Amino acid sequence: MVKAFDNLEIWWVTGAQLLYGGETVKIVDGHSKEMVEGLNNSGIIPIKVVYKGTANSSKEVEAVMQAANNDAKCAGIITWMHTFSPAKMWIKGLQQLQKPLLHFHTQYNAEIPWDTMDMDFMNLNQSAHGDIEFGHICSRMRVPRKVVVGYWKSEEAQKKIAVWARAAAGVADAHNVRCLMFGMNMNNVAVTDGDRVEFEQRLGYHVDYYPVSSLMEYFKKVTDAEADALVEEYKKLYTIKIDESGEKVYWEKVKNAAKAEIALRRVLKDENATAFTTNFDDLGGADIDDPNFLGFDQIPGLASQRLMAEGYGFGAEGDWKTACLYRTLWVMNQGLAKGCSFLEDYTLNFAADCTSSLQSHMLEVCPLIASDKPKLEVHFLGIGIRKQQTARLVFTSKTGFGIKATIVDLGNRFRLITSEVECIEPKPMPKLPVASALWVPQPSFEVGAGAWILAGGTHHSAFSYDLTAEYWEDFAEMTGIEYVNIDKNTTISGFKTQLQNNEMYYMLKNALK
Ligand code: MN
CA of 484 to the centre of ligand 1 (A): 23
- Report residue 4's pLDDT band, with 50, 70 and 90 as the boundaries: low
Would you place residue 292 in the very low, low, confident or very high pLDDT band (cuts 50, 70, 90)?
confident
Distance 346 CA to ligand 1 centre (A): 9
Detail the DSSP E strand segments found in 296-454.
313-315, 340-349, 356-360, 375-381, 388-394, 400-409, 414-424, 436-441
Centre of ligand 1 from the C-alpha of residue 378, in Å: 20
User: Is a pLDDT exceeding 80 seen at residue 433?
Assistant: yes
**Spacing, Cα 458 to ligand 1 middle (Å):** 10
477 Cβ partners below 8 Å, 6+ apart? 100, 144, 145, 146, 483
Mean pLDDT in residue range 497-504: 98
Q: Which residues contact 360 (CB under 8 A, 6 or more apart)?
A: 343, 344, 346, 347, 432, 434, 435, 436, 437
Res 336 pLDDT > 70: yes
Give the pLDDT mean for 286-305.
Answer: 88
pLDDT digits (tens, 9 = 90+) for 187-237: 999 999 999 999 999 999 999 999 999 999 999 999 999 999 999 999 999
- Predicted pLDDT of residue 3: 52
The percent of residues above 70 in pLDDT, for the chain, comes to 99
Least Cα distance to 78 among 59, 95, 91, 97 occurs for 97
Q: How far apart are CA 370 and CA 360, in angstroms?
A: 12
What pLDDT band is residue 85 in, cutting at 50, 70 and 90? confident
On the question of pLDDT at 1 being above 70, the answer is no
Higher pLDDT, 18 or 30: 30
pLDDT(138) > 50: yes
Ligand 1: distance of its center to the CA of 367 in Å? 17
Task: Name residue 265's beta-bridge partners.
Answer: none
Confidence band (pLDDT; 50, 70, 90) for 271?
very high
Q: How far is the CA of 216 from the centre of ligand 1 (A)?
A: 23
Is residue 276 within 8 Å of residue 180, measured between CB atoms? yes
Interval between CA 504 and ligand 1 midpoint (Å): 32
Helices 469-479 and 320-333 pack at an angle, to 10 degrees, of 120
> What is the spatial distance between Cα 315 and Cα 302, in angstroms, rounded to a whole number?
14
**Of 463 and 288, the one with more pLDDT:** 463
pLDDT for position 256: 96
The CA distance from 199 to 131, in Å, is: 34
Q: What is the pLDDT of residue 83?
A: 86
**For residue 403, which phi and psi values (nearest 5 degrees)?**
-140, 135
Helix (H) or strand (E) holding 175: none
Under 8 Å CB-to-CB from 171, ≥6 apart: which residues?
75, 100, 204, 328, 475, 478, 479
Q: Is the pLDDT of residue 171 over 70?
A: yes
Q: Which residues is 50 bridged to in the sheet? A: 11
Compute CA distances 379 → 283, 288, 310, 368, whole Å.
18, 17, 24, 22
Task: State yes or no: pLDDT of 2 exceeds 50.
Answer: no
Ligand 1 centroid, distance to 375 Cα (angstroms): 22
Q: Ligand 1 mean position to 316 CA, how many Å?
A: 5
Ligand 1 centroid distance, CA of 74 (Å):
36
CA distance 52 to 9: 11
Q: How far is the CA of 134 from the centre of ligand 1 (A)?
A: 47
Q: What is the DSSP letter of 425?
A: P
Instruction: Find the 467 Cα to ligand 1 centroid distance in Å.
Output: 23
Mean pLDDT of 53-64: 96
**Mean pLDDT, residues 318-347:** 96
Please compute, for residue 319, the number of CA atoms within 13 A of its CA located in the half-sphere on the CB side: 26
460 CA from centroid of ligand 1 (Å):
6
Helix (H, G, I), strand (E, B) or coil at 332: helix
Contacts of 490 (CB under 8 A, 6+ apart): 442, 443, 447, 448, 451
